[in-house]
Structure 1
């Protein structure tokens, strides 16, 4: 007996209805990207390992899917290495390529390679799948889509303001209310580490702090202690775990806490401009909130960092994020090319829209009208009408087989088709069509133009 087929954990098949819903979200995001002046690019699904490794921190590197070299990939490996069973050393010998972990690092590589062809500031958007060897769970997959928008070649904080507005515009259009856009600044985190005497542990400090919503205050403190951050430093950092108030009040508290840190004060000034400007301009439905525990454990962020939280009624984590990276292209040899970008998590946004029942009914309407098939002559008559209707933008199809009427109606019902056209000898002789509304049962005769008038509405 043949083994039942399966797919790898963390991956999914998508039905026609699911694809239609995903495309609805993608088209909404794409529309707002283009309205904001972003241009589309695409990059390969896999990159040279050296392009990706070392760009996401130690935890990120472990989640990168490596691709085995072609052919006998073990033949050139030193036998001593094989006997040592050191996977990290062996991997570098047998794998030269890897699936992309995100879209930002490949974008930085793209900018460096094509710098002489681009007009800066360069605004790009990219909607493609990425892969991470993560533990699958609700809303977390090993293969998923990211929808990114980035600007490189400008240090202006107006870009951060516009990206907050872009988040707000997309979620307003999707009718997802109560989304919280959390903001922080890596300079603020560096300033905090400096003030508490843990500057040499900045990465460990931020990685642990970023897990606050997952492992809680005590879990974060335990991890920090394990990484060598002192008890005295934890006492100084305690105010971060009880930070509250309005945006202005939070900024004032930060300014006092970081008064002795030049780097931290720069971060506070940047946050002040972004938050005050956004508050003055106003948002349609999203909420902007300063979260000083927001760290986003990726090494390349240097300024503002963003994370978008789903509405409180939906128990789901981040549905978007991003930030400012002043030296990302520097790792590929192009210095002084600041950038800032955000990402929309398509798969999690899908779960939010689905749970809140916000998909329009029309999203899954693949076909507007089904022409029933009663034989060869009737089918030819119908296909002439179908060609005309399709040219006018009406989605229609002919049932492929001459089958019982009940079976054809059942097909239409299962596909959610609203109308059926019935054509027999009488209709052909009079050059008309019988149009039946499958929801109300109402039936009427009319010309091709009558069909078009009804169906185009």
Structure 2
């Protein structure tokens, strides 16, 4: 007996209903991107290894899927690496290509490669799958989609303002209320580290601070002490632990804490500008919140940092994030190309909409009308009507086989098709159609014109 086929761990099949729901999210995000002036690009699913390797740190390099060279790849393998069982050197000699790990590095490569064709500032969006050789677990897959939007070639803070509005517009369109857009600034974190005399321990300091909500003030202080941050420095941090109130109130508190840090005050100035603009413009369903513990992508972001939280009624991680970076293309030798970008967490957004029952019922609709097949002549007569229905925007199909009536009706029920049309000798003679409304069981004899109107 043949073994039942399977798929690799960390990948998924999607049934028609799931695909329809995912497409609903994709289409909503795509439409909003284009409304805001972003242009679509696509990059290959695999890149030259040298494009990807070394761009994500040791951990990222380990998680990149490598593609074996075509043909007899072992013929050119590094024999010394084989003898020494040195997998890194061996991989370099047998694999020249790799599946993309994210959309950001390929985008940086795209900008550098096509810089003479691009009109800057360049607003691009990209919705494509990425692959990571990660350990699969709940909510973490080896193949998943990223939905990114970036602006490169501008240092204007109006871009940050627009991205906050873009997030709000997407979640409004998805009817997802209670979303919180958290914002911080790398310069503020650098300023705090400077004030407490821990500039050389910025990463250790922020990693500990980021845990404030999870482990509490005392544990955070203990972790900072263990990382070599002084008692005096931690005492200076005390006002930070009790930072609360409105965005404006927190800004004022931060001004006092960071009064001696030029970089910190610059970060405050940038956040105050963004907050002032959003207060003037307003948001529809989302809210903007200052969170000084937010420290995602610290090795990457240089200005604003975003993280989007789902409504509090849903226990799930962030559903979006992003920030400002000052040197996207520097990894490929093109210096001083500032940009800012955000992404949407498709899989988590899907789970939130599912849990809150926010998918429109029409999303999974496929066929409006099924024509029962009674034989060759009846099928041809039906197909002429089906052609007219399709021209009028109605999804219609003919059951392919002249099977028993019960089997065809069961097929319609299982697919939740709302209308069934029966065409027999009588209908063909009178040029009419018997329309059965599946929900009520009612049957009507109608002309083709009336059939189109009733189904629409």
Q: TM-score range by the shorter chain?
A: over 0.9
Partner residue of 2:198?
198
Residues 61-95 of structure 1: per-residue CA shift (max 9 Å, x gap): 44333333344545545555445545444444443
Counterparts of 1:39 and 1:57, CA distance in 2 = 30
Residue 187 of structure 1 deviates from its aligned partner by 1.2
- The equivalences for 1:131-280 within 5 A come to 131-207=131-207, 209-210=209-210, 229=229, 233-237=233-237, 239-280=239-280
Aligned to 1:111: 111
Q: Does the 8 A contact of 1:57 with 1:297 survive in 2?
A: no
SS of the counterpart of 2:393? coil
**Cα pair distance change 1:148/1:211, threshold 3 Å:** farther
Is residue 46 of structure 1 aligned with residue 42 of structure 2?
no
Check the 8 A contact 2:323/2:340 in 1, yes or no: yes
1:419 equivalent in structure 2: 419
Q: Is the 8 A contact 1:55 1:299 kept in 2?
A: no
Output the TM-score relative to the length of structure 2: 0.93
Q: 1:449 to 1:216 in 2, by over 3 A?
A: farther
Question: What is the distance in 1 between the residues matched to 2:152 and 2:395?
Answer: 42
Q: Give the Cα separation in 1 of the matches to 2:222 and 2:66.
A: 32
Q: How many Å separate the matches in 2 of 1:242 and 1:387?
A: 68
The answer to whether the 8 A contact 2:239-2:257 is kept is no
- Deviation track 1:229-248 (CA, whole Å, cap 9, x = no partner) reads 55655554455444322111
Q: Deviations over 1:302-323 (max 9, x none)?
A: 1111111111111110111111
1:319 — aligned with what? Answer: 319
| Distance change in 2, residues 1:4/1:208 (3 Å) | farther
Q: Which residue in 2 is equivalent to 1:3?
A: 3
CA–CA separation in structure 2 for the residues paired with 1:235 and 1:225: 11
- CA distance 1:165–1:96, shift in 2 (3 Å): same
CA distance in 2, matches of 1:245, 1:392: 56
Which stretch shows the higher mean deviation, 187-196 or 147-156?
Answer: 187-196
Q: 1:398 to 1:298 in 2, by over 3 A?
A: farther
| Distance across 1 between alignment mates of 2:312 and 2:381 | 55
Verify: 1:404 aligned to 2:404, yes or no: yes
User: Judging changes above 3 Å, is the alpha-carbon distance between structure 1 residues 24 and 314 closer, same or farther for their aligned structure 2 residues?
Assistant: same
Residues 408 and 224 of structure 1, relative CA distance in 2, 3 Å threshold = farther
Q: CA deviation at 1:224?
A: 5.6
SS in 2 for 1:145: strand
Which residue of structure 2 lines up, in the alignment, with residue 455 of structure 1?
455
**Counterpart-to-counterpart distance in 1, 2:189 and 2:180:** 21
C-alpha spacing 1:273/1:9, structure 2 compared with 1 (3 Å): same
Structure-to-structure mapping, 1:320-339, within 5 angstroms: 320-339=320-339
How many matched pairs?
Answer: 456
Offset, 1:426: 0.6
2:319 is paired with a residue of what secondary structure?
strand
Rounded Cα–Cα distance in structure 2 between residues aligned with 1:202 and 1:422: 73
Alignment of 1:68 onto 2:41: no
1:366 aligned to 2:366? yes
Distance in 2, Cα, partners of 1:109 & 1:361: 41
Q: Which residue matches 1:446?
A: 446
Alignment of 1:339-378 (within 5 A): 339-378=339-378
Is residue 57–residue 298 contact of structure 1 (8 Å, CA) maintained in 2? no
Contact 1:63–1:134 under 8 Å retained in 2: yes
Q: String of CA shifts for 1:286-333, please: whole Å, max 9, x gaps.
A: 011111111113522111111111111111101111111111112212
Identify the residue that residue 303 of structure 1 maps to in structure 2: 303
Whether the aligned pair in 1 keeps the contact of 2:78 and 2:89 (CA below 8 Å) is no
Q: Partner residue of 2:436?
A: 436
Q: Is the 8 A contact 1:307 1:322 kept in 2?
A: yes
Query: Which ranges in structure 1 are unaligned for 5 or more consecutive residues?
Result: none
Aligned equivalents of 2:57, 2:239: Cα separation in 1: 27
- Counterpart CA distance in 1 for 2:434 and 2:35 is 43
CA contact (8 A) 2:382 2:423 kept: yes
Equivalent in the alignment of 2:122: 122
Helix, strand or coil at the partner of 1:406: helix
Cα deviation for residue 228 of structure 1 reads 5.4
On the 8 A contact 1:139/1:351 being kept in 2, the answer is no
Cα 1:142/1:227, change in 2 over 3 Å: farther
Distance 1:23 1:199, change over 3 A: same
Contact 1:206 1:297 (8 Å CA) reproduced:
no
Stretch deviating more after TM superposition (259-268 or 83-92): 83-92
Using the alignment, how far apart are the partners of 2:233 and 2:91 within structure 1?
Answer: 38
Q: Is the 8 A contact 1:56 1:298 kept in 2?
A: no
| TM-score, structure 1 normalization | 0.93
